[in-house]
Amino acid sequence: MHARRPTGHGGWRPGAGRKKRPGSDPHLPRARFAGATPVYVTVKLAADAPTLRTAAVARAVWAAIEAGHCADFRVVHYGVFGDQLRFVVEASGTQALTRGMQGLSIRLARAINAQLGRRGKLFAQRYQARPLRTAAAVRDAIRDVLLGARRPISAGGARLKPGAIDPHSSGLWFDGWKAAARTDVAWLRALAKAGRPTAAPRTALLARGWRTAGGPLDVDDAPRS
């Protein structure tokens, strides 16, 4: 079988096609999963995006998440970090996840850019998704999302008081803490009065099953990653 040769009149030729941006992830096929499987989603920010860990941006994220719930897609946990946003979501399948995350990404970009008075691309690339098929995987994902800011400062963590909830996460509405967490941040209390933006979990693993892999979470416990 002979290799294809360029014809000089369009069509296939060596090196043709859109070039990949440096640092971009390959567009691999999405993992398929059943509706009873929670999913850990990461959305990385563009290199020139400003910090999103401000009170104003927290409210914009809150509103964008609340507006996105539907019958086949819902955000159960979220966390905002220096270079990315993390979510634990439930979706009825791969297509529902794709539609839900596309809509959520658009709402987040519009709301955050408007709040910051900026234009342009907010996210660096398409989201990354990992199905969570075991209690241990779900527990680790929840810890990464709600407690990721407790990494050392040198590793990109934030300054949080002992026992305090990260105000840039949905930890305020999480019922799986070992002990009552501190909420002594004025604008976090204001968010609490506005109500919960995240959805209550419906899948067995995310509702209760994750506790079998180690019990409730300690608010001061830094994640492994």
Give the pLDDT of residue 181: 80
Of residues 9 and 150, more confidently modeled: 150
The owner of tokens 């342009």 is 120
- Is 92 a residue whose pLDDT tops 80? yes
Give the pLDDT of residue 79: 95
- Is 156 a residue whose pLDDT tops 50? yes
Distances (CA, A) of 196 to 67, 117, 199, 208: 12, 26, 8, 19
Check residue 25 and report its DSSP letter: P
Least confident of 79-88, 104-113, 152-161, 203-212: 152-161
Instruction: Give yes or no for a contact between 197 and 65, defined as CB atoms under 8 angstroms apart.
Output: yes
Check residue 182 and report its DSSP letter: B
Backbone angles phi, psi at 182, to 5 degrees: -75, 140
* Record: fold of 39-212: Alpha-Beta Plaits (3.30.70)
Give the pLDDT of residue 191: 75
- Is 38 a residue whose pLDDT tops 90? yes
Give the pLDDT of residue 5: 57
Q: Are strands 128-131 and 84-91 parallel, antiparallel or unpaired?
A: unpaired
Instruction: Give yes or no for a contact between 105 and 43, defined as CB atoms under 8 angstroms apart.
Output: yes
Give the pLDDT of residue 8: 54
CA distance 75 to 209: 18
Least confident of 50-59, 88-97, 212-221: 50-59
- Dig out the tokens for 3 from the structure: 């290799």
pTM attached to this predicted model:
0.81
